[in-house]
Structures are given as C-alpha cells and as structure tokens.
C-alpha cells in the first residue's frame, strides 16, 4: 500500500506525465523492498514506522519498489530516503520474503481517491509481491525522520509496543531482530546505536536489549574490554565526579578491523 | 540459461501442451532461485554443479524459476530436486542477488534448437532476473545426484577447483561460503557434513575447511567437548586399536537444543 501511494505522489510531484505510465514500465514487477531501521532509546530497541495519511488502518515499514535500471541494494537506500528523509550509505539485506500468504493490498488504491489512477495501476499493485528486507542500526539522535507526503506521521516505536502493521511487516521486523541477535554474537555491532561517549553499563544495556536476556556485569565488561576496541576517557574530577563511571568511545580504526575479522562476543 | 532449458524440457516431457504457454503465465517474472549445495570430502568443501548438455560453455548452480502459486522457499526445494535428484526438506536462504550487472543469458535459447521455442520465450528469458540464493550442507555419501535432462554431467567440485560458472554463480558461491563461515561462529553446524561417527580430528578438519584457517588442536577439542553435544563411543580393543582416537557421534537431542540457543564456537 504505502509504496503505491508513495510512488504515485512522487511521480505526480516530479514528473506529472509519468502518471500516465504503466507501472510495469517503470518498476521491476512484483518486487519490493522494506527497511527495518532500528534505534536505541530509553534502553529499548525502537523501529521507525509510518502511519498512513488516509483512513486506511495501520502502520508500515518504509518500503517501496525497485526501478528497472536500479540495483536492488540501491533501491533500498533510495526508498528509505524518499519515504523518511533518512539518508544512510548502506543498508544490510537480511532476508527475502516470498510466501504466498504475505497478504494482499486489497485494492487499497481505490480507498484514497487520486486523479489519474487507472485499473491497470490497481491491478499492478495487487499482483503477488516478493519483498527483500533491509536492516540498519542507527543513532536516533542523529536521525531526523520526516513523514513523506503519504504519511500522517512517522515515529520510533518500541519493539514491544508496535501497533498493527500492514501485510507481513510485523514478521519482517521479527526476522530483522533475529538477524541482529545472531550478528551480535560475532560482530561488535553497537557503535551506531550509542552516543559518542558511553559507559560500560550503557553498552551492556544495549546488548541486553538485543539479546533479550540479562548479562553478568563482570563477565560482560571483561569480555568487551578484552576486544581492545575502546578508548577510555579521563574523568574530570569535579565534585562527586570521581565516583562516576568511566566513559568510553569506540576506537574506529580498531573497531573496523575487528568488524572485518569477526569476533565472538561470548569468548 | 539452465533454468530455461530445464523448464522447457520438463514442460515438454510432462505436459507437451504447456510449451505453448507464455512463460509469464507460469512463472513469477524476473525471479529465480539458485542452490549452493555444499559437501565435505577429502578434507575439502565441494559444491554440486551441473555441466550443460549443449555446446554452451560453462557450469552452473542448480537453479530455476518460481511458480506463480508457490512459496519462494518451496521453489528452491522443488528446483533442487528436479535439477539434481537431491531431495532436502529444508534449504536456508542466505541472500538475494539483484545487481543490474548480474549478466544476461544472451539468447542462449537460440543456441540449442528446441521445437516450439518462440521469440516470446527468448524475450522472457532475457529479462532482468533477481535470484535468491539458498544453501545447504549435506553428507556427500548420503546424496545421489543425477544430471537432469539438460545436463551432460553433475559433479561435486572442490571450492578451489571450480570451473567457469555462468552469470554471477561464482559470486553466489562465495557469498554462501561467507554465510556459512559466519554461521559456524555461533551454530555448531557440521552434523550434516560428517559421517555418523567421526574423530575430533575429522571435526577439526571440517572447521578448518570452513573457516579457512588452522586451529589449535587442544583449544579446539576443549571448546567442542565443552558444548556437551557428543556421545563418545567405546574403543574396540583389537590389535592396535587402543591407540586409535575416540569416535564420537552427535547427541541429536542436545545438538538440536544448542542449535536453538546458538552458541559461540570461539568461547
């Protein structure tokens, strides 16, 4: 749904004549991308989702179609930018969703009256779609998402508070989280989710959120520090500050080297 | 290429009248699946590939198209069975390949003369294809692959001896190996690649092949045995057999439990 509305509006806005085009001339048939953008705030993982600018019920992941002359990976980056204003240089593909029971768009286009929509557009929208899921971990504070013209609002919603999502989008979110959970076992992901300087406690809370389990404080700190990817910053001894925990930042060079090698969080 | 020939032959063999069908009525447009079936023999990882039954140069992964009324994951299982005779209950999806430069089939259909092939078939084959890659680790001894009607031969070829492969199939193999290499860091894969009973040395050789690096014998055995997923079998003390290493088998119940939890090989 989102996608159709979106492209129709974009098309109208940029090149009104394109609305007369058959979608099948513009886009790869039956293929979409959906982006699961994960942030971390108040010790919770949050997902960036859009609420319809219409009376259609439900929220959706930022998603869209793939242009015929466009790489699949690049389509995801473009779609995310167009739908949310969030620009990322890279999105990681995690799974392609191709079950027959993914759900239909049910002539959603008919529910919002848009001039120029033809039965061919609606038919194209209602074909079977296979969707490739992309994921990224981002620092919420560095993002400034804006709802696109199709959306009433855009928001970061905590995983355990997600509203009704269209199609199989909730399933897509779940699979993205599983993917991240596995990944954190061998890659020190997290650099993008934490502020520039953070405490070991904050890092632990992030890992606990992703892994959905409590970790032992002593073990966690020993393992993380052994990775040798942090800079520890001097405390400013003013007032009670000497009791404050150390602040750390990632050593980008060492961090990137470790990302290439892979590591084991459990070691 | 493979796919087109294959389906044409299958169609001819089973329902000759179907050859008059437009491919676009039968298959999801522009979508294929490719299977990377990995076995382990002579301490080497080997890939199952097919050689053309025509003068077209090159080998290919077992691949094919997705029927309109078929789940993507099920298409991979069906295609593998039809192309190689190998029946697997599950194939793991690892990545979808959607770059524009994946390569074209270059009117390959014209190169083998088949009655009933129309310009529409050729045009359909030459459209842009996006392919979802599936991977499985199998015990070579339990597989009995047979070349399909389109193929001159089928063979297990060692990773470092792969011949010229069509399209981006070499890239697909490379990504499948990366996927397995990451996975082995948190899942004790291997049960499907080893004989029922194996020595710790054999298990280590398997891990070394996947990780492409030498491992320390003592560390490896300590870590693996700590996982508590093995049964150790009594030695039969005949002749010099008491000097033989212990044989192990996987405890399926414990193994499956660990697969669910995930683990860290490096711990």
Q: Tens of pLDDT along B182-191?
A: 888 777 777 7
Whether residue B245 lies within 8 A of chain A, CB to CB, comes out as no
Q: Which residue of B has its CA nearest to A102?
A: B71
CA count, 13 A, side-chain hemisphere, B39: 19
Query: Given this model, what pLDDT does residue A242 score?
Result: 63
Whether residue A92 lies within 8 A of chain B, CB to CB, comes out as no
Show pLDDT as tens, one digit a residue, over chain B (267 residues): 344 444 554 544 544 444 556 788 889 999 999 999 999 998 899 999 999 776 667 899 999 999 999 999 999 999 999 999 999 999 999 999 999 999 776 555 555 555 666 788 778 888 899 999 999 999 898 899 999 877 889 999 999 999 989 889 999 999 999 999 888 877 777 778 888 899 999 999 999 998 888 999 999 999 889 888 999 998 765 665 567 889 999 998 988 887 766 555 433
- Determine the average pLDDT of the residues in A221-250: 82
Contacts of B68 in chain A (CB under 8 A): 128
Interface contact A28-B128, CB threshold 8 A:
yes
Q: Cβ-count burial of A109 within 10 angstroms (0-12 exposed, 13-18 middle, 19+ buried)?
A: buried
- Determine the average pLDDT of the residues in A103-127: 69
Q: Which residue of B has its CA nearest to A264?
A: B266
Rounded to whole angstroms, how far apart are CA atoms B181 and B189? Answer: 10
Query: pLDDT for A244-259, tens place per residue?
Result: 889 999 998 988 887 7
Query: Given this model, what pLDDT does residue B105 score?
Result: 65
Using DSSP bridges, classify how beta strands A27-41 and A130-137 pair: parallel, antiparallel or unpaired: parallel
Three-state SS across chain A?
A: CHHHHHHHHHHHHHCHHHHHCCHHHHEEEEEEEEEEEEEEECCEEEEEEEEECCCCCCEECCEEEEECCCCHHHHHHHHHHHHHCCCCCCCEEEEEECCHHHCCCCCHHHHCCCCCCCHHHHHHHCCCCEEEEEEEECCHHHCCCCCCCCEEEEEEEEHHHCCCECCCHHHHHHHHHHHHHHHCCCCCCCCCCCCCCECHHHHHHHHHHHHCCCCCHHHHHHHHHHCCCEEEECCCCCHHHHHCCCEEEECHHHHHHHHHHCCCCCC
Which residue among B96, B185, B186 sits closest to A96, beta carbon to beta carbon?
A: B96
Q: Which residue of B has its CA nearest to A24?
A: B29
B189-261: CATH architecture = Orthogonal Bundle (1.10)
Interface contact B96-A99, CB threshold 8 A:
no
Beta bridge mates, B40: B45
Query: Given this model, what pLDDT does residue B91 score?
Result: 95
**Hey, what's the torsion of the CAs at A18, A19, A21, A27, to 10 degrees?**
80
Which residue intervals of chain A bear CATH 1.10.10.10?
A: 189-261
Interface contact B72-A182, CB threshold 8 A:
no
| Residue closest to B96 by CA, chosen among B161, B185, B32 | B32
Exposure letters A246-260 (e unless 16+ CB within 10 A, then b): ebbbbeeeebeebee
Whether residue A73 lies within 8 A of chain B, CB to CB, comes out as yes
pLDDT category, A171, cuts 50, 70, 90? very high
B78 in Cβ contact with B186 (< 8 Å): no
Asked if pLDDT for residue A232 goes beyond 90, the answer is yes
Using DSSP bridges, classify how beta strands A92-97 and A63-67 pair: parallel, antiparallel or unpaired: unpaired
- The mean of the pLDDT values for chain A is 83
Query: Given this model, what pLDDT does residue A175 score?
Result: 96
For CA atoms B160, B44, B221, B227, the dihedral sign is positive
Q: Which two tokens stand for residue B112?
A: 């083998």
- Determine the average pLDDT of the residues in A56-76: 92
pLDDT category, A226, cuts 50, 70, 90? confident
What is the pTM assigned to this prediction? Answer: 0.85
Interface contact B185-A128, CB threshold 8 A:
no
For chain A, give the percent of residues with pLDDT over 90: 49
Interface contact A100-B71, CB threshold 8 A:
yes
A155–chain B nearest CA distance, Å: 29
Whether residue B128 lies within 8 A of chain A, CB to CB, comes out as yes
Q: Which two tokens stand for residue A165?
A: 């999502």
Rounded to whole angstroms, how far apart are CA atoms A262 and B183? Answer: 11
| ipTM > 0.90, yes or no | no
Residue B259's CB is within 10 A of a number of other CB atoms, namely: 14
pLDDT category, A120, cuts 50, 70, 90? confident
CA B43 from chain centre, in angstroms, equals: 17
| Residue closest to B180 by CA, chosen among B265, B89, B60, B56 | B265
Best of B24, B71, B74, B96 to mutate (most A CBs within 10 Å, chain A): B96
Which residue intervals of chain A bear CATH 3.90.79.10?
A: 3-182
Rounded to whole angstroms, how far apart are CA atoms A240 and B261? Answer: 43
Q: Which two tokens stand for residue B81?
A: 């069975």
B219–chain A nearest CA distance, Å: 13
| Residue closest to B263 by CA, chosen among B211, B186, B154 | B186
Q: Which CATH class is domain B3-182?
A: alpha beta
Which residue among B31, B70, B100 sits closest to A69, beta carbon to beta carbon?
A: B100
Query: Given this model, what pLDDT does residue A114 score?
Result: 57
pLDDT category, A115, cuts 50, 70, 90? low
Of the given ranges (A5-9, A90-94, B255-259), which has the lowest mean pLDDT?
A: A5-9
Cβ within 8 Å of A, B 7-46 = 28-31
- The mean of the pLDDT values for chain B is 83
Contacts of B215 in chain A (CB under 8 A): none
Whether residue B182 lies within 8 A of chain A, CB to CB, comes out as yes
Interface contact A267-B264, CB threshold 8 A:
yes
B231 in Cβ contact with B251 (< 8 Å): yes
Of the given ranges (A85-89, A162-166, B72-76, B150-154), which has the lowest mean pLDDT?
A: B150-154
Question: In chain A, how long is the greatest CA-to-CA distance?
Answer: 71
Whether residue A226 lies within 8 A of chain B, CB to CB, comes out as no
């Amino acid at each position: 749904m989102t996608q159709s509305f979106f492209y129709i509006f974009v098309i109208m806005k940029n090149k009104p004549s394109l609305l007369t085009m058959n979608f099948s001339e513009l886009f790869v048939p039956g293929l979409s991308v959906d982006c699961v953008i994960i942030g971390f705030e108040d010790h919770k993982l949050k997902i960036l989702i859009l609420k319809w600018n219409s009376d259609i019920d439900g929220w959706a992941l930022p998603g869209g179609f793939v242009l015929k002359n466009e790489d699949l990976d690049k389509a995801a980056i473009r779609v995310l930018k167009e739908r949310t204003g969030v620009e990322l240089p890279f999105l990681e593909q995690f799974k392609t969703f191709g079950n027959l029971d993914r759900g239909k768009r049910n002539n959603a286009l008919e529910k919002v009256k848009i001039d120029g929509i033809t039965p061919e557009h609606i038919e194209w929208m209602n074909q079977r779609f296979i969707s490739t899921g992309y994921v990224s971990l981002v620092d919420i504070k560095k993002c400034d998402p804006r709802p696109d013209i199709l959306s009433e609002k855009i928001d970061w919603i905590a995983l355990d508070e997600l509203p009704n999502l269209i199609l199989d989008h909730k399933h897509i979110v779940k699979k993205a989280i599983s993917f991240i959970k596995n990944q954190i076992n061998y890659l020190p992901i997290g650099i993008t989710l934490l502020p520039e300087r953070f405490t070991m406690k904050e890092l632990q809370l992030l890992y606990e959120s992703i892994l959905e389990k409590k970790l032992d404080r002593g073990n966690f700190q020993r393992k993380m520090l052994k990775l040798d990817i942090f800079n520890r910053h001097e405390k400013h001894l003013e007032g009670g500050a000497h009791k404050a925990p150390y602040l750390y930042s990632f050593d980008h060079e060492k961090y990137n080297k470790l990302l290439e090698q892979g590591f084991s969080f459990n070691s």
